[in-house]
C-alpha cells in the first residue's frame, strides 16, 4: 500500500503542528511496511511548472512551485492552470498512490481533484479553519473573531470586499471537497462544532486525536529559577505579547521567561514583542525550536504557556507538554479547555486577560519547581498512527 500525503508546507522550511502531524504519520506508516511520500509547496519559486524532488530524513518529498503572480492563490480551493495540471497528471502516474491523505488542503485542490477523477480516494484531516475561512484563522481583517463564512457572504463583507461571488463559490467548492472525501478526521470536538455551525455535514467524520512521541524523555536542568515558556509562531493570534506583559507583573526575581519562535513570520509583531520585553533581563528570546525534540530542548522549562487569543483548534505544543509532565497554562478558548479540562481552573485563564494570566503564573511560582500539573494525555504517535493505518486498509481494501 502506498499513501501520498498532501500538505500546504513541510519540513525543513516550516515546522509547526500540521507539518509535525504529516511527518509523524509518514514515518510511522513506514514502520508498518507502508510506502509513503509527501507533496508540499515551495513558497519561493515563482514558476508554476517547477518541482524539487528531494528527501527529508528518509521521507521522499516533492515540493511544487508556488505561482506568486496570483494574489489569491492561497484561498482558492481549485485553480485552473494547464501547466500545473499536466505536471500533476504525470507525477500521479509515476507515484501511483493507493490513497491520498490531505493534512492541509491549501494549494492542493487541483491535485486532489485530479486524483479523485482517476479513482484515487482521499481522506482529509482538519488541523485549522482554512476550509471554513480563507484566512485560516477565523479572524477578520479588523482583528475580530468570526464564527463562520455564512455561505461566503461574511468573507466578502468583512475580509474580501468586491470578491463576494468568489467567496460564495469557494464555500460551494469546499462542500464538494467534503462530499467527495472518503473520510474526514478531526482532533477536537470544538473544531468539528465550528464546521457544524456552518451547516457542514459531519456524519462521515471521525475523531482521532494527535499523538506525542513516547520515546522522548523529559530532561531536567537543575537551577534555582522557575522558567515559563512561550512556544509557537510569533504572530498576534498566538499571544506572545500577553505572556510577556503578564510575566512583567511578577516581581519574583527567580522567575524567568523563555520566548521561542522565529521573527520571520511577522517582523513587525516580533519587534513589538522585543520592545515589550526591554528592560526586563529575566526575559529571553530563544528563536526557533525543534517540535520533535521538545522533551529534551526544554530541559530548563517548568511551565509551558499557551496564550492564544483565537479559536486554537488543538495545539500540539499543549498536548506534548502535558504528556512530558510540564506544568501548563492555557487560554480558555477554542479546543484548549477540551485538552486541559474545564475542571482544572488553575490551568486556564480568560483569553486576552493579562491580569488573570499573571495571577495563574503566580500560582505556579508558589507551587515551585516540583509542582505537578495533575493533567494527563495518553494519545501516542503509535496509537494515532495505527488508527490511520486501519482506516487506510479499510478504504483501499488491502
Pairwise CA distance, residues 125 & 26, whole Å:
14
Residue 28 lies in a domain: yes
Residue 220 lies in a domain: no
Per the CB < 8 A criterion, the answer to whether 349 and 343 are in contact is no
Co-location of 323 and 206 in the same domain: no
Residue 42 lies in a domain: yes
Considering only residues 356 and 223, tell me which one the structure prediction assigns the higher pLDDT. 356
Co-location of 193 and 250 in the same domain: no
CA 369 to mean position of chain CA atoms: 29
331 three-class SS: strand
Residue 284 lies in a domain: yes
Co-location of 230 and 336 in the same domain: yes
Pairwise CA distance, residues 43 & 35, whole Å:
26
**Beta bridge pairs of residue 212:** 380
Co-location of 68 and 155 in the same domain: yes
Give the Å distances, CA to CA, from 364 to 253, 285, 347, 372: 14, 21, 9, 10
Residue with cell 475561512: 133
Co-location of 267 and 309 in the same domain: yes
| CATH code for the domain in which residue 26 is found | 3.40.50.2000
To the nearest 10°, report the CA torsion of 208, 210, 216, 218: -120
Which structural domain, as residue segments, surrounds residue 19? 2-211+380-396
Co-location of 189 and 247 in the same domain: no
Co-location of 303 and 157 in the same domain: no
Per the CB < 8 A criterion, the answer to whether 244 and 231 are in contact is no
**Predicted pLDDT of residue 192:** 98
Domain count, the chain: 2
**Predicted pLDDT of residue 94:** 96
**Among 248, 262, 256, 230, residue whose Cα is nearest residue 330:** 230
pLDDT band at residue 374 using 50, 70 and 90 as cut-offs:
confident
User: What does pTM read for this prediction?
Assistant: 0.91
Residue 68 lies in a domain: yes
Residue 217 lies in a domain: no
Percent with pLDDT over 90 in the chain: 77
Residue 344 lies in a domain: yes
Co-location of 121 and 202 in the same domain: yes
Co-location of 47 and 177 in the same domain: yes
Cβ within 8 Å of residue 278, ≥6 positions away:
none
**Predicted pLDDT of residue 38:** 99
Amino acid at each position: 500500500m502506498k499513501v501520498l500525503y498532501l500538505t500546504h508546507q513541510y519540513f525543513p522550511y516550516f515546522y509547526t503542528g500540521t507539518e509535525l502531524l504529516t511527518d509523524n504519520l509518514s514515518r510511522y506508516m513506514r514502520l508498518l511496511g507502508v510506502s509513503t511520500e509527501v507533496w508540499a509547496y515551495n513558497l519561493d519559486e515563482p514558476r508554476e511548472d517547477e518541482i524539487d524532488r528531494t528527501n527529508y530524513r528518509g521521507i521522499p518529498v516533492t515540493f511544487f512551485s508556488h505561482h506568486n503572480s496570483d494574489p489569491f492563490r492561497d484561498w482558492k480551493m481549485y485553480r485552473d492552470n494547464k501547466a500545473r495540471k499536466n505536471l500533476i497528471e504525470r507525477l500521479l502516474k509515476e507515484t501511483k498512490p493507493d490513497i491520498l491523505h490531505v493534512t492541509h488542503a491549501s494549494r492542493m485542490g487541483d491535485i486532489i481533484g485530479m486524483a479523485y477523477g482517476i479513482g484515487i480516494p482521499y481522506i482529509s484531516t482538519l488541523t485549522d479553519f482554512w476550509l471554513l475561512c480563507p484566512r485560516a484563522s477565523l479572524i477578520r481583517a479588523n482583528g475580530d473573531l468570526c464564527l463562520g463564512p455564512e455561505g461566503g457572504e461574511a468573507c466578502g463583507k468583512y475580509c474580501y470586499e468586491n470578491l463576494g461571488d468568489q467567496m460564495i463559490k469557494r464555500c460551494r467548492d469546499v462542500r464538494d471537497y467534503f462530499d467527495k472525501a472518503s473520510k474526514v478526521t478531526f482532533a477536537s470536538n470544538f473544531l468539528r462544532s465550528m464546521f457544524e455551525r456552518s451547516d457542514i455535514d459531519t456524519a462521515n467524520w471521525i475523531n482521532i486525536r494527535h499523538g506525542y512521541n513516547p520515546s522522548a524523555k523529559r530532561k531536567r536542568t537543575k537551577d534555582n529559577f522557575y522558567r515559563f515558556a512561550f512556544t509557537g509562531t510569533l504572530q498576534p493570534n498566538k499571544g506572545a505579547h500577553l505572556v510577556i506583559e503578564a510575566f512583567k507583573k511578577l516581581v519574583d526575581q527567580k522567575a524567568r521567561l523563555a520566548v521561542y519562535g522565529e521573527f520571520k513570520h511577522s517582523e513587525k509583531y516580533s519587534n513589538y514583542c522585543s520592545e515589550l520585553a526591554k528592560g526586563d533581563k529575566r526575559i529571553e528570546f530563544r528563536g526557533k525550536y525543534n517540535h520533535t525534540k521538545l522533551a529534551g530542548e526544554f530541559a530548563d522549562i517548568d511551565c509551558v504557556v499557551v496564550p492564544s487569543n483565537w479559536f486554537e483548534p488543538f495545539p500540539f505544543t499543549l498536548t506534548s507538554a502535558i504528556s512530558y509532565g510540564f506544568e501548563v497554562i492555557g487560554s480558555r478558548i477554542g479546543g484548549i479547555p477540551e485538552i486541559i479540562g474545564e475542571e482544572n481552573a488553575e490551568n486556564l485563564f480568560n483569553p486576552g486577560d493579562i491580569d488573570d494570566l499573571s495571577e495563574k503564573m503566580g500560582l505556579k511560582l508558589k507551587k515551585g519547581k516540583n509542582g505537578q500539573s495533575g493533567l494527563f494525555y495518553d494519545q501516542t504517535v503509535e496509537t494515532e498512527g495505527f488508527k490511520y493505518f486501519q482506516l487506510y486498509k479499510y478504504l483501499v481494501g488491502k
